[in-house]
Amino acid sequence: MEEDDVTIREQNFHSQVREYIICFLLFAVLYIVSYCIITRYKRKSDDHEDEDAVVNRISLYLCTFTLAVSGGAVFLLPFSIISNEILLSFPKNYYIQWLNGSLIHGLWNLVSLFSNLCLFVLMPFAYFFLESEGFAGSKKGIRARILETFVMLFLLALLILGIVWVASALIDNDAASMESLYDLWEFYLPYLYSCISLMGGLLLLMCTPVGLSRMFTIMGQLLVKPTILEDLDEQIYCIHLQEEALQRRLNGLSSHTYPRGSFTHQLNKELDNIRNQRNKLERRKKASGWEKNLLYPIVMLILLAGTTISVLMVALNILYLLVDETAMPKGSTDRGIGNTSLSTFGVAQAVLEIILMFYLMVSSVVGFYSLRVFEGLTPKSDDTTMTTIIGCCVSILVLSSALPVMSRTLGITRFDLLGDFGRFNWLGNFYIVLSYNMLFAVVTTLCLVRKFTSAVREELLKALGLDKLQLSNSPTDPESGKLSANGHQKTL
């Protein structure tokens, strides 16, 4: 009996060590990738080892940790789904026994814990530490800045806890809720993160439909469009005329003794735009036939199919919510990993769900940076400040943490929420979940209809030449209206 107990303890010990090693290796890979991404956009600073350089380096490490946690939250649900299907396909394979329910549950709990740590501790610390200078009268240095940062964090924690305490007291006025107000670990943190997850879900609801429609525009800019009833040689010739005319005007202004600076800057900017348009036209002319006539339609059809399937799955989930209580995110029971498949069509549906999750995440990030409110957070290559990087990391963390919840709420996957992700209070509210699904389906459909109707209308006008007819009725620009090719410039 004692030997059996020792054997069981040894097995548990080895399994825990194996899980720790796997978690460490996965996080190390995410951390290295995140560090490469941030250093790609971070503004290059001097190599002097001064105080600000040390502060920037510490903030960089914290931002890298946060972005790695965000990546873990994105890959968590797809990893769980594919692990479940692998265990079902090879239940007795010795080489995949490490892929068990204990590892998956541990990953979910670690991602949830690190998400709270980054959102409420590390990112506020990085921001306050970056902006701190030390209290007045104290000796300047790293120690003074750390002291000021901790004081600011303490005041921020008091403010947030006070707001949560007042909000929860107003919402739940019963005796049990009033007693739980004094429980910090079991009440405050889950309730606060539940509110953050709801805000992240609403942010995804706002960004994802915009990103789904914006993806067509971005791919249209990256790929070469088919040439339908367009004379590229004529457009390139007209662009050349405009470029030569602007160059002559700039040469004439440079010959004067006192050129007007603002007017010269405007002409240089217009010349750069015309050169960019000429480069795009030349690229379209040099593109091969398969790139213009095959690649572009295939990519557009893939994007359209992904968006249409997402909307259809959300529509089916709305019907499930109306007729079946188990369709609620909190209504499903935990069936364990490797016991039963949560996909009706097995591996094929699981792969489709994973592709849709990544597609929705990319679309949400694109839609986030497409909104006017968040345009200032758009990172620039080698020219992004640490404050902007902190804002980007926090935003991506909120979006990625809400992605598993949104995928389950919209019915993209039937995979049960594991760990602390399934403890959110609002997941049990039928009206919130139903309204969330209906808003996503309606807003996404409206964005796509508006996008395609406007795009088709513009392409038809270009193909028929009516865009030039409309521009010919408009008043001529006095600065550049002497050229008959001005209409081509505005239509490109």
What is the full DSSP assignment across 58-79? HHHHHHHHHHHHHHHHHHHHHH
Rounded CA-CA distance 335/84 in Å is 11
pLDDT 10s digits, 339-381: 666 666 678 888 888 898 899 888 888 888 888 888 888 888 8
Crossing angle of the two packed helices 2-41 and 101-117, in degrees rounded to 10:
40
- At 172 the pLDDT is 62
Rounded CA-CA distance 201/207 in Å is 10
Determine the 3-state secondary structure of 320 from DSSP. helix
Rounded CA-CA distance 34/398 in Å is 16
Determine the 3-state secondary structure of 42 from DSSP. strand
- At 317 the pLDDT is 86
Total count of residues recorded for the chain: 492
Rounded CA-CA distance 415/402 in Å is 15
Contact 215, 236 (CB under 8 A): no
384 phi and psi angles, rounded to 5 deg: -115, 125
- At 331 the pLDDT is 47
Question: Model's pTM, two decimal places?
Answer: 0.77
Alpha helices by DSSP H, 172-260: 175-180, 189-222, 232-255
Rounded CA-CA distance 287/234 in Å is 17
Task: Kindly give, in sequence order, each residue whose CB lies less than 8 Å from that of residue 189, ignoring residues fewer than 6 positions away.
Answer: 116
By C-alpha distance, which of 329, 28, 384, 332 is closest to 201? 329
pLDDT 10s digits, 87-136: 888 777 777 878 877 888 888 888 888 888 888 889 999 999 888 887 77
Task: Kindly give, in sequence order, each residue whose CB lies less than 8 Å from that of residue 163, ignoring residues fewer than 6 positions away.
Answer: none
Rounded CA-CA distance 74/396 in Å is 10
By C-alpha distance, which of 54, 36, 33 is closest to 45? 54
136 phi and psi angles, rounded to 5 deg: -65, 135
The CA R_g of the chain, rounded to the nearest whole Å, is 28
- At 255 the pLDDT is 58
Rounded CA-CA distance 121/125 in Å is 6
Contact 410, 437 (CB under 8 A): yes
- At 308 the pLDDT is 87
List the structure tokens of 18: 């194996």
Exposed (0-12), middle (13-18) or buried (19+): which is 28, by Cβ within 10 Å? exposed
- Give me the amino acid identity at 253: L
For each of the chain's 492 residues, which pLDDT tens digit applies?
A: 455 655 888 777 778 888 889 889 999 999 999 999 999 888 876 445 677 788 888 889 999 999 999 999 889 888 888 888 888 887 777 778 788 778 888 888 888 888 888 888 899 999 998 888 877 777 777 888 888 888 888 888 888 777 777 776 676 655 555 555 555 566 666 667 667 777 888 888 888 888 888 888 887 777 766 665 555 666 676 777 777 777 777 776 665 545 555 667 677 777 777 777 777 766 666 666 666 667 778 888 888 888 888 889 888 888 888 887 766 776 444 556 766 666 666 788 888 888 988 998 888 888 888 888 888 888 888 888 888 999 999 999 988 888 888 888 888 887 766 655 655 666 777 888 888 888 888 888 887 777 766 656 666 666 555 555 444 444 434 344 333 334 444 333
- Give me the amino acid identity at 142: I
36 phi and psi angles, rounded to 5 deg: -65, -40
**Average pLDDT of the chain?**
76
